Amino acid sequence: MVKNMTKIDKLIKELCPKGIEFKELGELASIETGEQLNKTAMTKIGDYLVLNGGINPSGFYPEYNTEENTIAISQGGASAGYVNFVRTKFWAGAHCFVVKPKTKEIENRYLYFILKNNQEKLQNAKLGAGIPGLNKKELQNLNIPVPPIQIQLEIVRILDSFTELEAELEAELEARKKQYEYYRDELLSFEERERVRWLTMGEIGTLIRGNGLPKSDFTEKGIGCIHYGQIYTYYGTYTNKTKSFVSTETAKKLQKVQKNDLIITNTSENVEDVCKTVVWLGENEIVTGGHATIFKHKENPKYLAYYTQTNMFFDQKKRLAKGTKVIDVSAKDLTKIKIPLPSLEEQERIVKILDKFDALVNDISIGLPAELNARIEQYEYYREKLLAFEERV
């Protein structure tokens, strides 16, 4: 890698010794919003992916409106600002920005790496109490370094070598996840004759809808908080630490979360992500905000959380989900979902088995997840190093 970096340095000294010219993205590329597509028109399988904002596709559609090898950026929702490079033809929805170079000054794949490097900045460009969205003008005004095309292509070659290895590891890990999901569903599928109680979530415990908590309320330290958008993108099945904090004064206005409570997302851009759940296992009381529901109960919390990941739970929440552009399952509707409850001893036995499987596919400190995480960190480190240019004065 050092050899490759030296080659880049030599090219910069040779081709642009006085620094790199920066230009606004709007000058280099077209930025178009996708077309509205009714949720009912999509299918779970089909010819072309539908990207309608969000990290994951919204579904499939028999037609496409965007060519392959195109940069797509999520425009709205918890994942607003997420940058994707789509290698296949796809349908860009109304919550998706399509970015295409309009000059030979900029190479398409290089532009993707630059935007990916600015993803966090884009995700923080628009904040608010409601559904956050990325402003098109903010995107157009983003400054992009434009080195000579030879340098761009060399950077792409280096970074693609990292992403190819990542893709191989991700494919292997995905296969393991499929095996785990199959076994989890088998373990949590109870026949009617088995000694379990089938109770609704409303009968099992109490569901309390959150309120407030825009990201602008976050502080460096204070009372721990979990924002609904972080449940999709950051947390796993359970946690005892929070990524974010709010002031004591702000915390007083928010709903409180105690140890063993579940925090359930009520809102998402797709059915897959709505009702994602994280268990709070920390000793300290924390808070959560809008678009989330706190589930208080007396069962094994991990058992309940694992059940929310099953296909059986998915089928129930899908029937209760409302909306097209934004999918919502209310706290009131959550009370109707049925969960099988064996004895606490049996719940504990099942949790111990699933914890081991969960660690094998999700714990970034061991095995394949650890190797993949190391490669991702290495890639991000070199991406930042390679794309840190001195601007020409």
Q: What is the pLDDT of residues 156-215, one digit of tens each?
A: 999 998 888 888 888 888 898 899 999 999 999 987 556 799 999 999 999 999 999 999
Work out the percent of the chain whose per-residue pLDDT is above 70. 95
Domain total for the chain? 3
The verdict on 201 and 328 lying in the same domain is yes
* Average predicted confidence (pLDDT) for the chain: 90
The distance from CA 88 to its chain's CA centroid, rounded to whole angstroms, is: 20
Smallest Cα–Cα separation from 228: which of 117, 115, 326? Answer: 326
Instruction: Check residue 322 and report its DSSP letter.
Output: B
The verdict on 85 and 111 lying in the same domain is yes
Segment 252-260 mean pLDDT: 97
The verdict on 74 and 164 lying in the same domain is no
Q: What is the pLDDT of residues 41-87, one digit of tens each?
A: 888 788 899 998 777 888 899 999 999 999 999 987 778 889 999 99
> pTM for this structure?
0.62
The verdict on 16 and 100 lying in the same domain is no
- Predicted pLDDT of residue 131: 60
- The strand ranges marked E within 332-375 are 338-341
Q: Which amino acid is at 213?
A: L
What whole-number distance in Å separates Cα of residue 167 and Cα of residue 87? 13
Q: Residue 73: phi, psi to the nearest 5?
A: -125, 130
The distance from CA 126 to its chain's CA centroid, rounded to whole angstroms, is: 17
The verdict on 122 and 153 lying in the same domain is no
The verdict on 174 and 316 lying in the same domain is no
207: domain range?
197-341
Question: Is residue 130's pLDDT more than 70?
Answer: no
The verdict on 39 and 115 lying in the same domain is yes
User: Two tokens at 377?
Assistant: 């960190």
The verdict on 13 and 26 lying in the same domain is no
The verdict on 290 and 350 lying in the same domain is no
**For residue 225, what is the domain's CATH number?**
3.90.220.20
Structural contact between residues 232 and 207, judged by C-beta atoms closer than 8 angstroms:
no
CA 246, 249, 255 angle in degrees (round to 5)?
70
Smallest Cα–Cα separation from 269: which of 48, 75, 41, 9? Answer: 75
